[in-house]
Amino acid sequence: MLRWPRSFAFAVTALSIVLAPVYSVEEKPLPAKAPAEKIDGPPVVSAKAWAVADGKTGKVLWGSKEHDPLAIASTTKIMTAHIVLRLAAENAKVLDEVVAFSEAADKTPGSSSDLKAGEKVTVRDLLFGLLLPSGNDAATAFAEHFGGRFKGEGKEDDAVAKFVAEMNRTAKALKMEEAKYLDPHGLSKNLASAHDLATLTFTALKNPLFAKYVQTRRHTCEVVDADGKKREVTWNNTNKLLDIEGYEGVKTGTTTAAGSCLVASGRYEGDHVLVVVLGCTSNDSRYADARNLFRWAWRERGHGSKGK
CA distance 211 to 265: 9
The confidence band for 233, taking pLDDT boundaries of 50, 70 and 90, is very high
CA distance 2 to 286: 77
Residues 73-118: tens digit of each pLDDT: 999 999 999 999 999 999 999 999 999 999 999 999 999 999 999 9
The pLDDT of residue 308 = 40
- Sheet of strand 98-100: strand arrangement: 98-100, 120-122, 218-224, 230-236
74 is catalytic: yes
Residues 10-57: tens digit of each pLDDT: 444 444 445 555 555 678 899 999 888 777 889 999 999 999 999 999
Catalytic entry in 48, 111, 113, 134: 134
Residues 250-304: tens digit of each pLDDT: 999 999 999 999 999 999 999 999 999 999 999 999 999 999 999 999 999 988 7
What is the dihedral sign for C-alpha 69, 198, 252, 150? negative
CA angle 261, 264, 265 (to 5 degrees): 175
Q: How far apart are the first and last CA of the chain?
A: 99
- Would you kindly state where each structural domain of the chain is located, as residue ranges? 49-302
The pLDDT of residue 1 = 52
The confidence band for 307, taking pLDDT boundaries of 50, 70 and 90, is very low
What pTM does this model have? 0.88
Query: 251 among the known binding-site residues?
Result: yes
The pLDDT of residue 12 = 47
The pLDDT of residue 179 = 98
155 is catalytic: no
Catalytic entry in 77, 162, 193, 265: 77
CA dihedral defined by 137, 258, 293, 202, rounded to 10 degrees?
Answer: -50
134 is catalytic: yes
Residue 155 has pLDDT above 80, yes or no: no
* Superfamily designation of domain 49-302: DD-peptidase/beta-lactamase superfamily (3.40.710.10)
The pLDDT of residue 297 = 97
The pLDDT of residue 21 = 56
The confidence band for 130, taking pLDDT boundaries of 50, 70 and 90, is very high
